[in-house]
A and B are shown apart, each in its own frame.
Chain A
Amino acid sequence: MNDNHQNLVETMFPSDGSGIKPYEWMISPTRQRQWIDEKGIFLWLAFFFSEIGAGLYFMSLFYSFRPGIVIGWLITLVLGGIIHVLYLGNPKRAWRMLMKPNTSELSRGMWIIGVFAVLGFLQIITPGGFNMVFNFIMGILCLLIISHGFATMNVVRALPAWSSTVVLPLSIISGIWVGHQLLQLLFAMSGNATVVSGMEVWAATFFLIYILCIGLYAWGTWHMSDVAKISVKKMLEGDLKRATYEGVGVLAVLLPLIFTLIMWGGSTNGFLVFLRLASVLAGDLAIRYLIMKTAVYNPLI
Chain B
Amino acid sequence: MPRWGMVIDVKRCIACWGCTIACKEEHFLPPGVFFNRVLIGETGKFPTSSKLIYPVLCNHCEDAACVEACPTGATYVREDGIVAVDDTKCVGCRACMVACPYQQRTYYDEKTKNREFFPGQGKTEMETIGEKLYPFKLGTVIKCNFCSERVDEGMKKGLTPGKDEDATPACVNICPVGARVFGDLDDPNSEINRLIMEKKGKQLRKEFGTEPAVYYID
Touch between chains A and B, by CB atoms below 8 Å: yes
B72 touches A96 (CB 8 A): yes
Q: Which residue of A lies closest to B110 (CB)?
A: A89
A172 to chain B, nearest CB (A): 21
B74 to chain A, nearest CB (A): 7
Task: Tell me whether B150 is interfacial, beta carbon within 8 Å.
Answer: no
A83 to chain B, nearest CB (A): 13
Distance, CA A105 to CA B71, complexed state (A): 7
B91 to chain A, nearest CB (A): 5
B192 to chain A, nearest CB (A): 20
| Interface range for A | 35 or more
- Per-residue CB contact flags for chain B residues 58-102 toward chain A (1 = under 8 Å, else 0) read 000000010111111110000000000000011111110111111
Task: Tell me whether B135 is interfacial, beta carbon within 8 Å.
Answer: no
Task: Tell me whether A8 is interfacial, beta carbon within 8 Å.
Answer: no
Q: Which residue of B lies closest to A159 (CB)?
A: B98
Task: Tell me whether A278 is interfacial, beta carbon within 8 Å.
Answer: no
Give chain A interface residues in 243-301, CB to chain B under 8 Å: 297-298, 300-301
Known: A34-B107, A88-B93, A103-B68. A23 touches B209 (CB 8 A): no
Known: A96-B91, A298-B101, A301-B52. A156 touches B71 (CB 8 A): no
B107 touches A89 (CB 8 A): yes
B101 touches A89 (CB 8 A): no
Task: Tell me whether A165 is interfacial, beta carbon within 8 Å.
Answer: no
A7 to chain B, nearest CB (A): 10
Give chain A interface residues in 124-173, CB to chain B under 8 Å: 152-153, 155-159
Interface of A is mostly: loop
Task: Tell me whether B54 is interfacial, beta carbon within 8 Å.
Answer: yes
Specify which chain A residues have a CB less than 8 angstroms from the CB of B100 in the assembled complex: 158
B66 to chain A, nearest CB (A): 10
B132 to chain A, nearest CB (A): 21
Distance, CA A97 to CA B96, complexed state (A): 13
Specify which chain B residues have a CB less than 8 angstroms from the CB of A26 in the assembled complex: 39, 56, 102-103
Q: Which residue of A lies closest to B54 (CB)?
A: A301
Can you spell out 22 A-B residue pairs with CB atoms less than 8 angstroms apart?
A23-B40, A27-B40, A34-B94, A34-B97, A89-B92, A89-B108, A93-B89, A96-B71, A96-B72, A96-B73, A98-B71, A100-B70, A103-B69, A104-B68, A105-B95, A153-B98, A156-B98, A157-B99, A297-B103, A298-B101, A300-B204, A301-B41
Interface residues of B (CB under 8 A from A): 37, 39-41, 52, 54, 56, 65, 67-74, 89-95, 97-103, 107-109, 138-141, 204-205, 208-209
Interface residues of A (CB under 8 A from B): 23, 25-27, 30, 32, 34-35, 40, 87-91, 93-94, 96-100, 103-107, 110, 152-153, 155-159, 297-298, 300-301
